[in-house]
Amino acid sequence: MLVRRLQAFETLAQVHTVVFDKTGTLTHDKLQLASVHVREGSSPETVLAVAGAMAAGSLHPASKALSSAVADRWEDWVLPRAEVISASEVAGQGLVADVVGWGRVRLGSASFCTAPINRTHGAESPRVYLADESGWLATFELDECLRSDAVEALAALKAAGVKTWLLSGDLPEAAQRIARLVGVDHVVSGATPEQKLLEITKLQAQGLKVAMVGDGLNDGPVLARSDTSFALGTAAPLAQANSDYVIQGGRLMDVPRALIQARSTMRVVHQNLAWAAAYNAISVPLALMGYMPPWAAGLGMAISSFWVIGNALRLNRAAVTDSV
């Protein structure tokens, strides 16, 4: 783990709540295209080509899944190619582009594309929608899976007395599915970047110290607003730039380990400060009154320093034991 700001270590020891993003954080950032549903009269191959061309310039995991699916089919000469004239990304919502032969096209969430939501088929799977100037055009269903240590990490946080939240822009069904699997305490779904920021602010207004764990481009504002924050090593550069810690190996267990280590460190710091204060409160007056000869004062200072160093070294032994 890369610690970008050492001051955040002290803040981490005071954290009461850890907030997670879903896609790419609790789940793997690599999604796969499972199925395509299109408007009557449209071709799945054609709309997939349009979606893949629009998604090619985006770092979002869903966009990567679409562009990867298109690239695989292009290698087999199955899909036609779509030409995108201009494209722009709306943070937390999707992409809008001018596509040759299609006009203005939107790719993203159901609300962004004003698309109908089918809650009876694949309701818990993440989905991306495509819409043209005539309305809904296609729905792309994706497969995602949990990170191998997500359940263990959430359990460790709960054992440490920390409340956990999930903030996701996905539909309630998809967010609730992941929340049930990992054991998150509270879920907020369908959240835009602005709503995520508002939720973090609400928690802080309650006097809670909040740590955020995210990886996406749209997580940058909430990572910066949280009291302290973690970004995965595969996160977007903006997310890493706004985080205090970068988990280079992508292990979510590093979050509870860092929190427990921070608490232990601050406890040792307080112990050493208390020892130093008590030692000086006793030894300095004795030395001034002549009851303590210089050699005894020097020996006492050396013993005090060794005690402080030895107490701090216990942290290193605990860290080694934890890593094993």
Q: Is the pLDDT of residue 17 over 90?
A: yes
Q: Is the pLDDT of residue 71 over 90?
A: no
Q: Is the pLDDT of residue 120 over 50?
A: no
Average pLDDT over residues 93-101: 89
Average pLDDT over residues 244-249: 90
Q: What is the pTM of this model?
A: 0.70
Q: Is the pLDDT of residue 75 over 80?
A: no
More confident residue, 30 or 193: 193
Sign of CA dihedral 249, 250, 252, 258: positive
Average pLDDT over residues 118-146: 79
Residue pair 231/246 in contact (Cβ under 8 Å)? The answer is yes
Average pLDDT over residues 124-133: 85
How much is the pLDDT for 139? Answer: 92
> Catalytic pick from 21, 170, 219, 254?
21
Give the residue carrying structure tokens 């191959």: 45
Look up 21 and say whether it is catalytic.
yes
For residue 70, give every residue at least 6 positions away whose Cβ sits within 8 Å of its Cβ, in sequence order, or none. Answer: 48, 49, 51, 52, 53, 55, 79
Average pLDDT over residues 194-217: 91
The overall average pLDDT reported for the chain is: 85
**Confidence class of residue 32 from pLDDT cuts 50, 70 and 90?**
confident
Residue pair 209/16 in contact (Cβ under 8 Å)? The answer is yes
Average pLDDT over residues 124-128: 77
Average pLDDT over residues 273-277: 86
How much is the pLDDT for 64? Answer: 86
